[in-house]
Amino acid sequence: MSTAFVFSGQGAQYPGMGKELYENSPAAKAVFDMAEEIRPGTLKQCFEGTKEELSVTINTQPCVFITDLAAAAAVTEKGIKADCAAGFSLGEIAAIAFAGMLSYEDAFKLVCKRAELMDKAAKSNPGAMAAVMKISPEMTEEICSQFEKAYPVNYNSPAQTVVAAAQEEIDALCEKVKSAKGKAVKLAVSGAFHSPFMNEAADGLADYLKDITLSEPQIPVYANCTAEPYADDYKMLIAAQVNHPVRWQKSVENMIANGTDTFIEVGVGKTLTGLIKKINADVKAVNIENKEGLDTL
């Protein structure tokens, strides 16, 4: 039996996230307190922030990241050991921190910088995103190819691919999806993430990472860009992730092929748990984000 910890990403946030972890797990509390020391106001945003406040990228990323990491600390405190890890988009930074590649402090500072760069890129290169369902990833790719600035960016499951596009193209793209008997739902996000719209953020992140020292991962961490465990140029993988697709389905399939049969989604929401069940119904997938989750673990 092999267990993977998977870390949720931006979009799963909600008011009050992490509060029960903070109140019921000393290990989780220590992680939150560390973040509060570096970025005062983080606890208030997580526990009391409004939906609107939490949906601003420069707030979302630090808050989701630290809730993910706190949940992993709480689960580890219960004696559960991870054999490998992966994170969806932002969650990948939590995964590499959990695997010992970065100290929690340095990882949190990296996330704050990542949020700032992605927010800036979103404002200077406006774009939109939509979840495409009921048609294959290949058909979604074909539809995107018919537009000047449209890209498949999150390969989530056999029946869901998220696309990024120029704001002036997104409505026409959604219509094409409907014509192909698919369903398209525009997402409430502030930018076209994981696409060329984020090129300047990737460049800024690569520059920031020059002064950061990364350690070897203590457990395999599957990279969004390659769907394979981190290897070779770690810094390139971290920077390239913001302007390249998230290959989530392939990452999960590769983890299963390498022996993973249990997935624990640590952190905010249960989006990844749902996707994993759609990718392979035979594996066990649970989410841990509150006291109830910890109690039933």
190 pLDDT more than 90: no
pLDDT value of residue 12:
82
pLDDT value of residue 1:
76
What digits encode the pLDDT tens for the residues 113-123? 999 999 999 99
293 pLDDT more than 80: no
Assign a CATH topology to domain 127-186: Alpha-Beta Plaits (3.30.70)
**What's the rounded mean pLDDT across residues 225-235?**
95
Active-site positions? Answer: 89, 194
**What's the rounded mean pLDDT across residues 26-38?**
97
- Ranges of each domain in the chain: 2-123+195-296, 127-186
What digits encode the pLDDT tens for the residues 5-15? 999 998 888 99
- What are the DSSP calls for the chain, one per residue? -EEEEEE--TT---TTTTHHHHHH-HHHHHHHHHHHHHSTTHHHHHHH--HHHHTSHHHHHHHHHHHHHHHHHHHHHTT---SEEEESTHHHHHHHHHTTSS-HHHHHHHHHHHHHHHHHHHHHS-EEEEEEESS-HHHHHHHHTTSTTEEEEEEEETTEEEEEEEHHHHHHHHHHHHHTT-EEEE---SS-TTSGGGHHHHHHHHHHHTT---PPPSS-EE-TTTSSB--S-HHHHHHHGGGS-B-HHHHHHHHHHTTEEEEEEESS-SHHHHHHHHH-TTSEEEEE-SHHHHHH-
- Global pTM reads 0.94
What's the CATH superfamily of 2-123+195-296?
A: Malonyl-Coenzyme A Acyl Carrier Protein, domain 2 (3.40.366.10)
pLDDT value of residue 188:
77
232 pLDDT more than 90: no
The overall average pLDDT reported for the chain is 94
218 pLDDT more than 90: yes
What digits encode the pLDDT tens for the residues 41-88? 999 999 999 998 998 889 999 999 999 999 999 999 999 999 999 999
What digits encode the pLDDT tens for the residues 172-187? 999 999 999 999 999 8
